[in-house]
Amino acid sequence: MLYWLLILIIPVAASLNVNMTYGKYSRISNARGWTADQVARRILDSNGLSNIRIERISGNLTDHFDPTANVIRLSDSVYGKTSVAAIGVAAHECGHAVQHAENYSPIVIRSKLVPITNFCSNASYILIVLGMILSFNTLLINIGIILFLAVVAFQLVTLPVEFNASGRALKTLKNEYILEADEVSKAAKVLRAAALTYVASFLTTVIQLLRLIGISRRSD
């Protein structure tokens, strides 16, 4: 029961935290009147990435960089907004674009892990359920756990990718005088809250792994 409570509570708490933090600082406009998409364009151009487009996408905090299409998509809650929160998010996505341009090792590894993780995630649960149906077949369950390690590895390598993108964003916002010093600190709180959602995902995945190991041991 404790496993399931943690799996439910941790991501929900992280999600509530990021939404509350973003909501708080989305009401504070930056002193220079920049919009998030203008800031993104400026950061991209200054890094020689004028080929990357910026588009608007529906939703709330659905922002992402799509390296296959060379486009940064900013959500309705970010695109065209002048808040320090929106600018922080836009700068973070630019950080991902720069990571790809520089072949930043963790993001290269993560990209290569995507198809492997998708396969292993689905296959692991199939094998574990099948193992449980077949009178707790330890071999099938253990193979499923080994495959699930790919999911853990993906979540783990995601952490430096996200923290690095946020670090790049805040450094740029400060060094290029896009935001005032106190505004940078507010944007940092938004990005820190967003980063914690990835920490929560990692912890949840580890808890799931421990749960699966527990099932395997009971089947011995």
List residues with catalytic annotation.
93
**What tokens appear for 119 in the block?**
């396969």
Measuring CA to CA, which residue among 41, 18, 161, 139 is closest to residue 90? 41
Interhelix angle 138-175/84-101, nearest 10 degrees: 110
* SS3 label, residue 129: helix
**What tokens appear for 128 in the block?**
């574990």
If you search the block for the tokens 């198809």, which residue do you land on?
Answer: 115
Distance, in Å, from the CA atom of 176 to the CA atom of 91, rounded to the nearest integer, reads 12
Interhelix angle 2-25/181-219, nearest 10 degrees: 170
If you search the block for the tokens 């993780």, which residue do you land on?
Answer: 117
Q: What is the largest CA-CA distance in the chain?
A: 66
Angle 38-39-40 (CA atoms, 0-180°, nearest 5)?
90
**What tokens appear for 98 in the block?**
């720069």
